[in-house]
Amino acid sequence: MVTSKLRLDRIASSTRNAHLPAEVLIGPEVIAEEGRILAVRITNEKAVYNQVEDPTGRLIRLRAGDVLAGVLGARRALRGYEGEVPGSLAPGDTVEVLNLGGVLGRCTAGNPDLGPPFTAEVLGAVLTFPRTGDRVGRPATIREGAVPVADELAEGPPIVAVVGTCMDAGKTVAASEVVRGLSRAGLTVAGVKLTGVSLRRDALSMLDAGAVEALTFTDAGVVSTDDAAALPTAYGLLNELARRCRPEVIVAELGDGILGEYGVATLLSDPQLVARLAAVVCCAPDQVGAWGAVEILRTRFGIAPTAISGPATDNAVGCRFIRDRLGLPAANARAGDGALAAIVREAL
């Protein structure tokens, strides 16, 4: 296999498990499967949604001509791009950048708010040399060095789940406020993002709020969760957090919506996981979303939400509806007044 040396202009956060240097070796043998790390050259300019998150969590502008290391994966976002891993790939082929985390694939549906995605020419597979002295590299994958998935959920601390009707419903803000409030109350808190598509900023937000550790499904070698991957990945991450930092509580954000395609419903249907839930915060954008989410959680999953947050609680109109019509506390996480964390702490 002919290899060549390449200097990367941008390294996406989705590659984080591989700890890539700025200069890598690439090979022409591209394995078209989720988790494989590719080097690509950006071929167009964009005025919006034109950044990529690096492994530190910093958002950096992408420009035509930039050489990017990203990861093959799928995306099924309501308010973003939809895309899939192509059946085959070779140097010279075109892929699209499907999200800010640098997930690469073939875009199958766009979004009018984001414009067409970045297109990129495949340069080759980034190679890894797992053993000292190896002269022949092999195509890199984020599964190497990943947190192991698990078939069982071990004993551990109580879990506070933060769920929502869809993406951008306020889940990360709510999860971070719960982490902040519980940490300030003296509890050792860990955070985790259990479902979604690879992006590190939500875990970083929980770390900034006071979590002693925060992981995402990408740490377990998963680019995009689905019904098959969600449960063993969640078990592995929760087991790892309990072992690694012995938290008194874990705040778990379930990315996307409870009826989305990232496996949230699979987690909420699991008896082992549900038995560990001490509180469930549900985020919704409006009254209809709040009502529907509560109805689905109660009737389909047998879960009683602890509180409602998100844009539905941005003013007194929504809060009054939630309290009077749904019989639940309404706590706006953006207010930063500690009300949401106080409700969760009482449930704990």
Domains of the chain: 4-139 (no CATH), 159-347 (3.40.50.300)
* Structural element, H or E, at residue 104: strand 103-109
Structure tokens at 261: 């395609």
Residue 321: name the closest of 297, 287, 292, 293 by CA: 287
CA 262 vs CA 13, 100, 165, 225, 308: distances in Å: 19, 17, 13, 5, 22
Q: How far apart are CA 344 and CA 79, in angstroms?
A: 29
Question: Residue 252's beta-bridge partner residues?
Answer: 161, 192
Residue 131's pLDDT is 63
Q: How many CA atoms lie within 13 A of 271 on its CB side?
A: 0
Q: How far apart are CA 313 and CA 310, in angstroms?
A: 6
Residues of the chain where predicted confidence (pLDDT) is lower than 70 = 1, 130-135
Structure tokens at 288: 């209809």
Question: Residue 118's beta-bridge partner residues?
Answer: 97
Please report, as a single letter, which amino acid is at residue 86.
Answer: P
Residue 133's pLDDT is 54
Residue 134's pLDDT is 60
Pairing of strands 103-109, 159-164: unpaired
* Sheet with 213-216: strands ordered across: 213-216, 189-195, 249-254, 159-164, 277-283, 307-309
Residue 2's pLDDT is 79
* b/e map 162-183, b = 16+ CB within 10 Å: bbbbbbbbbbbbbbbbbbbbbb
Residue 185's pLDDT is 96
Residue 3's pLDDT is 86
Query: Which sign, positive or negative, has the C-alpha torsion 83, 36, 168, 41?
Result: negative
What are the φ/ψ torsions at residue 238 (nearest 5 degrees)?
-65, -40
Burial class (CB in 10 A: 0-12, 13-18, 19+), 201: middle
